[in-house]
Amino acid sequence: MREITEIFIHCSATKPQWMYQSTADQKAAEIRRWHVEENGWKDIGYHFIIDRDGDVVRGRPIERAGAHVKNHNAKSIGICLIGGWGGAATDQFEEHFTKLQEEALLKLLDDLTPKFPDAKIRGHNEVANKGCPCFTVSEFIDDRRTKETKDVQEGSSNTASLITSIINLLVGLLRK
């Protein structure tokens, strides 16, 4: 396995309704066609494609360097979200992508980070003068981690509250 130091998030820069009746595999095949026939590359540049319905399709094998970020391909993985037409680097994730894509992206990152614990998760726009992926990846990740921490903390207090209620109920029953 090659060394992975970065995981890059991209967008396809397509409209939300692009290939609407097509499967994720068909969309990935079209992106592969762009990359092979129009760019002259050997294969699709991305390692993963995430469709608007949350389906994740494998592109280029992870064992092979991608073709998605100039001067960073040798040690990176590329993930492409379908969408992002006309977006800017400062946009919010929700402006261009679906909740299902968010869930799929977070799950994929959760699957990849234990395998590549030192890899930095970045947006294409961090190393190139581009809007892609049409949001600030570091803010997106930080916002989700903050939400997860808050959910866990609230869940912990809810659990403690539930246990206290059960204990009080049992004590009350024992007194009768």
Give buried/exposed letters for 41-68 (b at 16+ CB in 10 A, else e). eeebbbbbbbbbebbbbebbebeebbbb
| Calpha distance 154→173 (Å, rounded) | 28
Annotated catalytic residue, options 11, 80, 132, 134: 132
Annotated catalytic residue, options 10, 27, 35, 47: 10
Question: What is the residue whose two structure tokens read 């409209």?
Answer: 15
**Model confidence band, residue 144 (pLDDT cutoffs 50, 70, 90):** confident
All residues at 6 or more sequence positions from 42 whose CB lies less than 8 Å from its CB, including other chains: 36, 67
pLDDT of 160 over the 60 cut? no
Annotated catalytic residue, options 27, 47, 96, 124: 124
Q: Closest by alpha carbon to 63, among 127, 9, 111, 116?
A: 116
Look up 150 and say whether it is catalytic: no
pLDDT of 168 over the 60 cut? no
Alpha carbon distances (Å) from 112 to 7, 20, 68, 93, 132: 9, 28, 18, 20, 21
pLDDT tens per residue across span 4-63: 999 999 999 999 999 999 999 999 999 999 999 999 999 999 999 999 999 999 999 999
The token pair that represents 127 in the structure block: 């190393």
Instruction: Give, as one character, the DSSP assignment of residue 82.
Output: S
Look up 124 and say whether it is catalytic: yes
Annotated catalytic residue, options 35, 46, 68, 72: 46
Look up 147 and say whether it is catalytic: no
The token pair that represents 31 in the structure block: 């992106």
Look up 80 and say whether it is catalytic: no
User: Helix (H, G, I), strand (E, B), or coil: what is residue 40?
Assistant: coil
**Model confidence band, residue 1 (pLDDT cutoffs 50, 70, 90):** confident
Alpha carbon distances (Å) from 63 to 27, 66, 159: 22, 9, 44
Who has greater pLDDT, 14 or 156?
14
pTM (predicted TM-score): 0.83
Find the range with the poorest average confidence among 21-25, 55-59, 148-152, 168-172.
168-172
Look up 72 and say whether it is catalytic: no
β-bridge mates for residue 84, sequence order = 14
pLDDT tens per residue across span 109-138: 999 999 999 999 999 999 999 999 999 999
Q: Could you please state the CATH topology (level 3) that the domain comprising 6-135 is classified under.
A: Lysozyme-like (3.40.80)
Q: Closest by alpha carbon to 145, among 116, 112, 110, 114?
A: 110
